[in-house]
Every structure is written in C-alpha cells, then in structure tokens.
Chain A
Amino acid sequence: MTGFIIRRLGQAIVVTLGVTMIAFALLHALPGSLARDIIGNRASPQAIAQFNRANGLDRSVWYQYWLFLQKLAHGNLGYSFQYNRSVDSLLATELPRDLVLGGLSLVLAVAIAIPVGVAQAVRRNGPLDYAGTGISFILYSMPQYAIALLLIQLLSISFHVFPSEAPQSASALGMLTHPAGLVLPVASLTLVTYALFSRYMRSSAIDTLAQDYIRTARAKGLPERLVLLRHLLRNSLITLVTLIGLSIPTVLTGTLIIEQVFNYPGAGLEYFQAATRNDYEVMLGITVLVGVITVLGNLLADIGYAILDPRIRY
C-alpha cells in the first residue's frame, strides 16, 4: 500500500511538471511583448531593455522556465502587471467564491445522482429508468452554456423568479448572503455535473445489484429497504470517490463557462478577462492551478479507492 502511494505520488509530480512545462511553452509562444504592454507603445528601446532585464525576459526560455518553477515552489503563481498585484492575492479573493459555486454544485449533484441512480437501477427498464436516462442523455448532450441559457430564459426572462447575474460580493460569505443570485449559477453547474454523474451511478448500481452479497442479503430475508441502504448504497459510495476525483476537470471547466455566463466573480471569469488584456502571468497561474487540482483529484481518488475497498491490492 505504501509502495503504491509513493509510486502514485511520483507519477503525480511528473505529470504536474509536464503541465507547467506545456503551459509555460504555450504562453511563451504568444505574440506581443510584455514590456510594450506594460510601459506603452512609445517606450524607448532602453526602457524596454531595462524592463526585460529586470524581469528576466532577456534570458533564455529555459532560464525563464526555471525562474517560474522556483517561484512556483514557493507558492508564487506570478505577478499581474495589469493589476499591479500578485496572482496569489488575486486568487485569494476569488477562490473562496469559486468554492461556493463549485462546492455547492458538487454536493447537490451527488445528493441527486445517488438516490436517482439507485432508483433507476432497481427499476431497470421501467418508466422511471427511461425518464432518468432520457434526462441525463439530454443534459449530457447539451453545450454547458446552453443549460445555463435555458435556465435564464425560463426563470429569469419568462418568469422573473431569480436574477440572471450572480451577486458581486467581495467575499465568499457575501455571496451566500444573496442566495437568490446564486440559485441559477449553482443550478446550472449542478446540472452539468449531474449529467456526468448519473450515467456512472446507474451502471455502478446495476453492477452492484448483480453481486452475490446482494443475493445473499435478499435470500436471508433482509427487507429490500435495508438491502439497498446497507449493501447497495454503501458499495456504490466507493464508486463515488473515483467519480468525484474524475469529475474535477468537468467541474472546473463548467465553473469557467458558468462564471462567464452569469458574470460570477471567480477565477474562471478572471481567466477570460486576463486573456483579453494579455495578462499572461494570470493565465499561466490559473492554468497551473487547475492542472494541479486535476492531478491532486485523480491522486486522492486512486488512494481513497484503494483504502475504501480492501479487495483492491496493488
């Protein structure tokens, strides 16, 4: 087990390094000059050379990458020259708000997907199963922003129930004090995540239902409710650990899109704004962060799965 964790950890580090390398290379290849962006089009060649020297931009690509890695090792994600703020401090205000959106949606999606998935598996090929499958197929086949647009059309434009813009509070707690504005972004991201979960949950529950221990539980006369609760549900939860780990890219991309649609003040919206103002260090910082979270999610899912299911041996 320890060996497995160490090996898996080593892989995670290699993959993280690869992500930083590719992100750095791509951003480095972008046209335009940072010096021109910061000190203006009419800056003298001397001023530009000085700026480049001060920021290490006159050194080789490898040296710049090395500088970047060094800073990264100290938890420094870069500096936004457009805002004159460190990317860390920028993200420090945004990530808690992202956590509200992503966290609430993830919890809600799980809370819906488990009972619905189990119910579909128990009543396999019944009307309820077909309805559930139909809904998740449609959600799964929609561009993420279209789900948000439909909700806006229905609940914001046709019936003025909820506002179509997210609250613009400075803190995560502030977001929570305006629940009406949170409803549509959270509901949209919940549906995006649910579309992914429901398909797995149903087939996992069907697989579990076919196991011998379920038959044993039924044969010894355990009420169906207890069979489902104690034997089916508990074992389906193991799948959930993997599922949450794997869903992280979907949740993050979903967050990006949903934030854009609802003008939700988070890292995703920041990413778009950084792209339009050529704030490469912000883009690079967020990309690396997203990559690291994805790798961590997969790592935790693998390790959690190995711990939860004692039958798995590596």
Chain B
Amino acid sequence: MEALSPTGVKVVLPEGGEVASAGSPWRLIARTFAQNRLAIVGVGVVVAVVLFSFVGPLLYHTDQFDPNLAEVHLPPGTGHPLGTDHSGFDILGRLMVGGQSSIEVGFAVGLIATSFGLIYGAVAGFFGRAVDTVLMRVVDIGLAIPVVFLFIFMAQVYKPNLTLLIVVLSLVSWQIPARLVRGETLSLRTREYVEAVQVMGGRSWRTILRHVIPNTIGTIVVTVTFQIANAILTLAVLQYFGFGLPATTPTWGSMLSDGTTYLQDGYWWEIYPALVIIVLTVVAFNFIGDALQDAFDVRLQER
C-alpha cells in the first residue's frame, strides 16, 4: 500500500498539529493491537493451528485414505492419542489433514469475497446515483436469499469439490464487505484530496484504486478477518447439510458431522476434538478482528 506510507498520510494531518512524537500511524496501530492480550492469544492460536495442520502431518504420520475396519471407534489410548472414528481413521491425524482444507477454504473465501466486495462497493459509492442504486439492490437481493437454500440446491446439482465450495461460499459472502466499503466511499469521495484528484483530471479508476480503496484499509483488514472466521464456520455447517467434500478430503465439519451420528453411543472423542478446534480457530480470528477494529479506531481518534 504505497499510498498509505507515513509521508502519504502526514499530508492529510491538520496543519499546526505537533505530530512528530506520534510516529507512523502503522506503528500506533501495531502498538494498540499488541496491547490487546486477547489479540495476541488469537494470533498465537491461528499460528498454532496452521502449524498443526500443515507441519503436523510431516511429524505425525497417519493413513487417512484406506479405512481400517479392524480399528473402528477405538477410544483415545496408545497408538491413537485421540482414538479412531467409524472408518478406523486416526482422529488426531484427521484433525491435521482436515485443518488444511478448512483453513484453505477460510483464507480463499476471505480474500476473494473481500476483494470483490471491496471493488464493487467502491465503484457503487464512488459513482453514486443510478449506479449506486442498481448495484446496491443487487447486494440486497443477495442478502435476502436464504444462504442455506443455495447450498441445498448446489448439493443436488453439483459434485462438490474444494474449488466449487470456495466459489459458492464467496458468492454468499461478498455482500457485507461491499456494503461496508460503499458506506466509507460515500464519505471519502467528498474529501478534499479525492476532489483534488478529480479537479486535476484524474481518471475515475485511478481515483478509486489509488485514493479511495487505500483509505478503506482498516475496514478491509477487519472484514477479511471476520470473513475467514465466518467461512470456516459456514463450511462446518455445510457439511451438516450434506454439501460436503468427498471422504478423501476430510474437514473439521465433516468429522463433527460424522461424529454426531454416534452421539447416543458415547463416542465423545469422535465429536469434541473437531468441535473444540473449530471453535478455537473461529474465536481466534474473531479476537484478531475485534482487536484490529479497536486499533484502527484509535488511529482515527488520535488523528
């Protein structure tokens, strides 16, 4: 983000203010973020979960492809620290492999949905009038369609795979960032520096890309975080509706869904590890999002 380099922002600061000691706004944001203990916990958990999912399988080898029917529903114990599931898969190993697809989907949806919503919202807010009305009604329609309906429909028509899942989840997630960015753009486009660019003959696209969007960075960063959390959560709910990935691609949601079949049998180890890791990961992302929101708020307050 070139346009948000410290010098770039100092231009915006009111004249006469003694700001030398405040330092870069990014340092201020980082400091406020670091003071939030929950945020540090959140970052720690996310790093731990990513390492667990992507580095874990290299250290802890398990077979997650061939069912082992001689070892089904084994309680936690020697050989299988978290027991085995209904197909004889080692649960600890499956949590690691399942984490990969869950995290990949989460990040991909967070980035795709936010990027698209960002440009969409900026265009709607920047051009205003008819463009804004039409584009925002499309967002309203998207938000009014019951998401679950879309999933049940998809489950009947297509054979789910990772890419399709990411596309569908992005399709139902971009509307919120679009709305947020549009709201901010409405106020940004009346700022002097945006008007100045236009007076100097700057193209609309250049204004949007170089001057409007970089100034919504706070909203964007916060939104991506919440979108990742929501995508991981929705993925888990999707499996419950049968819109899951094939058994060769386990996710935390499918493990939880499989495990609940045996709720009455008392096979708790097939349910709770997956539930705990889902909740931990989503809570961690929400902590980070909340702290980022506070951090960017502080920047605005002190400006």
Contact = CB atoms under 8 A, between A and B. Distances in A.
A18 B144 CA distance: 9
A18 B297 CA distance: 36
Nearest to A253: B148
B275 interface: yes
Nearest to A142: B279
Interface stretch (B26-34, B121-129, B150-158, B203-211): B150-158
A172 interface: no
B114 to A, nearest CB: 19
Interface residues of A, number: 42
Contacts of B144: 15-16, 18-19, 249, 291, 294-295, 298
A29 B157 contact: yes
Interface stretch (A20-28, A82-90, A177-185, A235-243): A20-28
Contact of B137 (A14, A22, A253, A271): A14
Report the interface size class on chain B: 35 or more
Contact of A19 (B141, B236, B237): B141
Contacts of B283: 137-138, 141
A153 interface: yes
Contacts, number: 109
B146 A291 contact: yes
A25 B264 CA distance: 41
A15 B136 CA distance: 10
B149 A290 contact: yes
Contact of A143 (B236, B264, B287): B236
Q: Is the interface of A mostly helix, strand, loop or mixed?
A: helix
Contact of A291 (B145, B266, B286): B145
A140 interface: yes
B146 A18 contact: no
Nearest to B232: A141
Given A11-B140, A138-B283, A26 B256 contact: no
Contacts of A260: 240
B240 A26 contact: no
Contacts of A271: 149, 152
Interface stretch (A52-60, A144-152, A210-218, A224-232): A144-152
Interface of B: 137-138, 140-141, 143-150, 152-153, 155-157, 229, 233, 236-237, 240, 253, 256, 260, 263-264, 266, 271, 275, 278-279, 282-283, 286-287
Please provide the 7 A-B residue pairs with the shortest distance between their CB atoms, ordered closest to farther. A18-B141, A141-B282, A143-B236, A141-B283, A15-B140, A290-B146, A294-B144
11 contacts: A26-B153, A31-B156, A137-B283, A143-B240, A143-B253, A144-B237, A146-B256, A157-B263, A253-B147, A275-B152, A283-B153
